[in-house]
Amino acid sequence: MRLFSLRYVRAIFPYLLLATALLSERAFAAESRDALLTIISSCLDINAPDYCKHCPAPRPESSCAQNLDCRATTEVWEETAAYVVIRDRKMCGCAPGFVHGLVIPRARIWGVEDPQRPDDIWRIAWAMARKRIAEEDAIALVANPPGSRSQDQLHVHIVRLRSDVRGFLDGARSGRVQNLDEVWSAAAKKATAAKLQDYGVLVTRHRDSGFLVLVDAGSPEKLYTSWECK
pLDDT tens digits, 139-188: 999 999 999 999 999 999 999 999 999 888 877 767 899 999 999 999 99
- Together in a domain, 99 and 34: no
Give the global pTM. Answer: 0.85
CATH of residue 120: 3.30.428.30
Choosing from 74, 97, 120, the residue where a domain stops is: 74
Give 32: exposed, middle or buried? Use CB within 10 Å, 0-12, 13-18, 19+: middle
pLDDT at residue 78, as a whole number: 97
Mean pLDDT of 197-223: 95
Domain boundary among 34, 50, 74: 74
CA distance 55 to 60: 12
Are 83 and 197 contained in the same domain?
yes
The neighbouring-strand residues paired with 203 are 141, 213
Residues 67, 93: one domain? no
> Distance (Å, rounded) from C-alpha 227 to C-alpha 90?
8
> Where among 46, 74, 102 does a domain terminate?
74
Give the range of the structural domain holding residue 176, as residue numbers without chain letter: 76-230
Report the pLDDT value the prediction gives residue 169, as an integer from 0 to 100: 87
Nearest to 182 by CA among 111, 117, 127: 117
201 with 107, same domain?
yes
Same domain, 128 and 80: yes
Mean pLDDT of the chain: 88
Say yes or no: 62 and 138 in one domain: no
* Contact indicator for 24, 38 with CB cutoff of 8 Å: no
Domain count, the chain: 2
pLDDT for residue 8 is more than 50: no
Residue 22: pLDDT band (50, 70, 90) is: very low
Are 45 and 113 found together in one domain? no
Type and span of the H or E element at 140 = strand 139-143
Least confident of 19-28, 57-66, 107-116, 152-161: 19-28
Give the mean pLDDT of 98-114. 97
Verify that 86 and 196 share a domain, yes or no: yes
Q: Does residue 95 sit in the same domain as residue 55?
A: no
Q: Which residues contact 81 (CB under 8 A, 6 or more apart)?
A: 106
Claim to verify: residue 107 and residue 145 sit in the same structural domain: yes
Residues 124 and 209 both lie in one domain: yes
| DSSP-assigned states of every residue in 65-86 | GTT--GGGS--EEEE-SSEEEE
Are residue 101 and residue 205 in the same domain, yes or no?
Answer: yes
Range scoring the smallest mean pLDDT among 17-31, 32-46, 206-220? 17-31
